[in-house]
Structure 1
């Protein structure tokens, strides 16, 4: 299943004109059921100690929470939640912003950013390959597993720091030409983060904070744990055993973001209506398809988002999970709807949480 990439001439994320207008929508769901009741039903379907479903439609927010565990001392919707791989949507927006402003080119070889003295070779892995999961890199470096195994249930990433991620990339022999195949890779997005930091001479946390979090006024978003009065406590698959806060090692750009549901809605609302935002060009850019793959090229990807069709327009979404928490982020421009869902339990692969959140967004 060979991916088909959109052309990347000049500016790799061309922005031509304004986004098409969407039709007006009502304050209730199309079937007439109040949004709050639908969110309450969604919360009830998820068996987790803490659950929050936060929905915005035309800028009007409805947030409902609950859970099987005792209520925390801080209201559930005011805690920060680990969003895992959904952090890649923040990295994608940062990447789009850096290319939009001309600080970087999507076609820049990653090795040039990380080790300028090294030869790039005939078919180098570019920054664009890394963000679109077409670099050919595996999900994680080969030597990650033996280092992580002793702490697999508590802190698997902590033993794999920044330098090791970069070294694993620089010493790896490329088995196939980049761009030939789509393969989801935490390793690749982690390498991208280090390449962006090196190219801008800015530590990752500072780079994302200055370029994305501050401009979008995401004051309830952080990249490191802060404590039980600020951060939600995750739980293992049994729903009762607590997990320690995530420490992500050298993979921060692939999964370090933790945020309140309200901040996640602010982030998604900016994607729905980029006008007037300081990141308007980048916000428009990450909504445009850059890659299609699978049978009949049905699977569509933008920079950081999965895109699925609906009856009236596309919906964009990304899921994420850590050892003890899960998140679902998504938005639909055609209905002006954004959905942020979080919970403090790590479910199995097929679970009610993701299915419930996806169905809620797909229904409009």
Structure 2
């Protein structure tokens, strides 16, 4: 049974959006909660949580207690960085979005894999399963164990060879960690360097994201927790699945990232926001997907967003270009009651119409 945590104490810097931030913080249940807002370049941070740092001071220069400078696991939000790198290499002519996947991988993978393009991988329309079959049984038997640790590139390519596509490439949307992970070796082949080096050189450094790294190694990492809110979970090693979920980033860095997307001076930053498809189910009939972002209609223009989770943390990043508003949310607890994604999305929506 999941423990119900008491309402978290909060700390919000004085700002016009403070009441909305307070309301959003009150929805989230986690030892450490951070909400970060950028509106026309002006930043506001809100802190909450039930942990020891819940009353930490806010603002740049607050030292170790300034949680906007801790590194939080991004989980699937990493995918937006990987696809941005893909778009950047496409602009540089190192590859094309409609290249076959197999054109950038050594080995033989069968006719089905040969019909998958890089665009299919980026937009989750490849037909590949969410995860390889050799991860399914361990995930069921040991749900709290990180099965990605030690998963090699060789196993990843073997998983592609053994995969049975759920549908023909380009015909349906089906979320696939495997598909995005395969962009890792593709980008390495096209860029002539390891994924982490390419991402740092072509995306992180140009955008000034010094607090964003593939795995621990930069800023002090935040400690995640299981659903009970007490059991700590260390930072996750994603191995070959790093391009699908291995980045850590500070809230300050995520706002910098969002601000670059709100003012996309580089072509690749614009490319990843171009709509590619619409979900064709009654539940998602109004949901559009760009090359990497989910997109919902909003006042004056769309809301773009993506969420992520590790075994002990959850996060959200969304932005509304029409009002130059961005919201990043982080929680160091992972279960369905944490509510950071819903609270952050609701905050973004509220700010976009305020």
TM superposition score normalised by structure 1: 0.84
- Shift of the alpha carbon at 1:38? 2.0
Cα shift readout 1:100-155 (whole Å, capped 9, x = no counterpart): 12111111111121116777679611111100100000100111123556754132
Q: Name 1:263's counterpart in structure 2.
A: 253
Distance, in Å, in 1 between the alignment partners of 2:108 and 2:169 is: 21
Q: Name 1:115's counterpart in structure 2.
A: 106
- Shift of the alpha carbon at 1:331? 0.3
Residue among 76, 84, 102 paired with 2:93? 102
Query: Structure 1 residues 220, 238: CA separation in 2 closer, same or farther (over 3 Å shift)?
Result: same
205-214 or 33-42, which deviates more: 33-42
Q: Tell me if 1:185 matches 2:185.
A: no
Q: Name 2:81's counterpart in structure 1.
A: 90
Q: Name 1:329's counterpart in structure 2.
A: 317
Matches within 5 A, 1:122-133: 124-133=115-124
Helix, strand or coil at the partner of 1:331:
strand
> How many residues of Structure 1 are paired with residues of Structure 2 in the alignment?
326
- Shift of the alpha carbon at 1:267? 0.2
Q: Name 1:243's counterpart in structure 2.
A: 233
Residue among 273, 276, 279 paired with 1:287? 273
Query: Structure 1 residues 55, 170: CA separation in 2 closer, same or farther (over 3 Å shift)?
Result: same
Residue among 314, 317, 339 paired with 1:352? 339
154-163 or 59-68, which deviates more: 154-163
Cα shift readout 1:313-350 (whole Å, capped 9, x = no counterpart): 101000101110000000000111011111101021x6
Query: Structure 1 residues 118, 68: CA separation in 2 closer, same or farther (over 3 Å shift)?
Result: closer
Q: Tell me if 1:51 matches 2:33.
A: yes
Q: Tell me if 1:232 matches 2:226.
A: no
Query: Structure 1 residues 155, 38: CA separation in 2 closer, same or farther (over 3 Å shift)?
Result: same
Q: Name 2:130's counterpart in structure 1.
A: 139
TM superposition score normalised by structure 2: 0.86
CA contact (8 A) 1:330 1:340 kept: yes
- Shift of the alpha carbon at 1:77? 1.7
234-243 or 144-153, which deviates more: 144-153
Cα shift readout 1:197-246 (whole Å, capped 9, x = no counterpart): 1222211111111110011010011111138x700000001111111211
- Shift of the alpha carbon at 1:41? 2.8
CA contact (8 A) 1:111 1:120 kept: no
Helix, strand or coil at the partner of 2:133:
coil
Matches within 5 A, 1:17-32: none
Distance, in Å, in 2 between the alignment partners of 1:59 and 1:266 is: 9
Distance, in Å, in 1 between the alignment partners of 2:209 and 2:338 is: 29
Distance, in Å, in 2 between the alignment partners of 1:177 and 1:48 is: 41
Helix, strand or coil at the partner of 1:341:
strand
CA contact (8 A) 1:328 1:357 kept: yes
Distance, in Å, in 2 between the alignment partners of 1:104 and 1:182 is: 23
Query: Structure 1 residues 122, 75: CA separation in 2 closer, same or farther (over 3 Å shift)?
Result: closer
Distance, in Å, in 1 between the alignment partners of 2:70 and 2:44 is: 16
Instruction: Provide the aligned C-alpha RMSD in A.
Output: 2.1
Helix, strand or coil at the partner of 2:36:
strand
Query: Structure 1 residues 118, 66: CA separation in 2 closer, same or farther (over 3 Å shift)?
Result: closer
CA contact (8 A) 1:109 1:120 kept: no
CA contact (8 A) 1:325 1:344 kept: yes
Q: Tell me if 1:307 matches 2:295.
A: yes
Distance, in Å, in 1 between the alignment partners of 2:244 and 2:325 is: 25
